[in-house]
């Protein structure tokens, strides 16, 4: 089956879908994006993703001429055309094509692209068996709360993880604090089953999955603290895990060369993963 993408008002073959060579996303990383999960053909938590998209657009003084309802129709159609029942839907808005010039164009012709592909994080091996992560310096800019397509430091960190045979790189601020992963939020489980994840700030992306897991944890009576934690604390934690739209809740069994707990997914992580999967199924 050939894939279909949406580009600026048109559904077209994925193979030929393209934006202009002077699109500001390609020349300046001047754009924002969202990744939505589809489960049983339906988009999960789309309102939360659209809320974050609005925040990212506003932070970069970009405007979206299409309404949320229209965007939803486009996303659903791309998911349907690609027959994605379990998978991911990607949306990108950039400040569009314009002669290369750092300043914003006077009348930007924003470009919108949407793609979808299959993937199965709910039943995948990593969610059940857990993964290794490495730690590396957080080299990103200071507005990590904006979901910008300028992802070079994230790409370099993830590549470093891949070369080391790890699934993710946890990013360390110069003060030893783990902010988050290159494409996921970072969590640890401390004494008495207390779940800890970095508080919301400009230092991290406010993950939609993170916020859902916080909700399910709290309503399950789990003690949750939103605060920064260091690499040293993470390596001594009873459990660790990561969350993202593309992989849901994934146990972390090793951080660098340190085994976390007994090296297997821990009970709190397994419980939260189960509760989270129940909310989206
Ligand atoms: N942090 C970063 C840097 C990310 O790229 C992602 C994935 N978009 C996340 C956290 C997790 O966010 P979400 O749960 O909304 O996918």
Q: What tens digit of pLDDT does each residue of 47-96 get?
A: 999 999 999 999 999 998 899 999 999 999 999 999 999 999 999 999 99
Integer Cα distance of 209 and 280 in angstroms: 10
Query: Domain 4-118: which CATH class?
Result: alpha beta
Ligand 1 pocket, CB under 6 A = 35, 154, 180, 183-185, 205, 207-210, 243-245
CB-based contacts of 20, cutoff 8 Å, min separation 6:
96, 97, 111
Integer Cα distance of 10 and 205 in angstroms: 31
Write out pLDDT tens, residues 133-180.
999 999 999 999 999 999 999 999 999 999 999 999 999 998 899 999
Q: Give nearest CA residue, ligand 1 atom 10.
A: 184
Which element (helix H / strand E) includes 212? Answer: helix 208-219
125-280 CATH: 3.20.10.10
CA of 181 to the centre of ligand 1 (A): 8
Could you say which of 40, 72, 107, 147 is catalytic? Answer: 147
CA of 234 to the centre of ligand 1 (A): 19
Residue 147 annotated to the active site: yes
CA of 220 to the centre of ligand 1 (A): 23
At residue 235, the pLDDT reads 98
At residue 174, the pLDDT reads 81
pTM exceeding the 0.85 threshold for the entire prediction: yes
What are the sequence ranges of the domains in the chain? Answer: 4-118, 125-280
At residue 160, the pLDDT reads 98
Strands 168-172 and 131-137: parallel
Atom of ligand 1 nearest to the CA of 180: 1
């Amino acid at each position: 089956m050939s894939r279909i993408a949406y580009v600026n008002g048109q559904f077209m073959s994925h193979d030929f879908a393209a934006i202009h060579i002077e699109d500001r996303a390609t020349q300046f990383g001047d754009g924002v994006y969202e990744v939505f999960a589809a489960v049983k053909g339906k988009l999960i938590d789309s309102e939360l993703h659209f809320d974050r998209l609005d925040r990212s657009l506003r932070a970069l003084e970009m405007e979206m001429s299409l309404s949320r309802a229209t965007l939803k129709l486009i996303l659903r159609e791309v998911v349907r055309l690609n027959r994605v029942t379990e998978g991911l839907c990607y949306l990108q808005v950039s400040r569009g094509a314009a002669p290369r010039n750092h300043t914003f164009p006077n009348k930007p012709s924003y470009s919108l692209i949407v793609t979808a592909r299959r993937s199965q994080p709910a039943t995948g091996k990593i969610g059940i068996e857990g993964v290794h992560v490495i730690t590396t310096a957080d080299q990103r800019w200071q507005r990590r709360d904006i979901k910008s397509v300028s992802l070079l430091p994230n790409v370099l960190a993830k590549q470093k993880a891949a070369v080391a045979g790890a699934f993710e790189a946890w990013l360390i601020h110069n003060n030893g604090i783990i902010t988050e992963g290159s494409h996921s939020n970072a969590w640890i489980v401390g004494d008495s089953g207390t779940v800890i994840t970095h508080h919301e700030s400009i230092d991290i992306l406010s993950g939609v999955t993170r916020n859902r897991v916080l909700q399910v944890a709290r309503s399950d009576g789990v003690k949750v603290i939103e605060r920064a934690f260091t690499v040293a604390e993470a390596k001594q934690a009873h459990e660790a895990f990561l969350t993202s739209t593309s992989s849901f809740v994934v146990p972390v069994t090793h951080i660098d060369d340190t085994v976390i707990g007994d090296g297997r997914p821990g009970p709190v992580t397994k419980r939260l993963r189960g509760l989270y999967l129940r909310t989206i199924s």
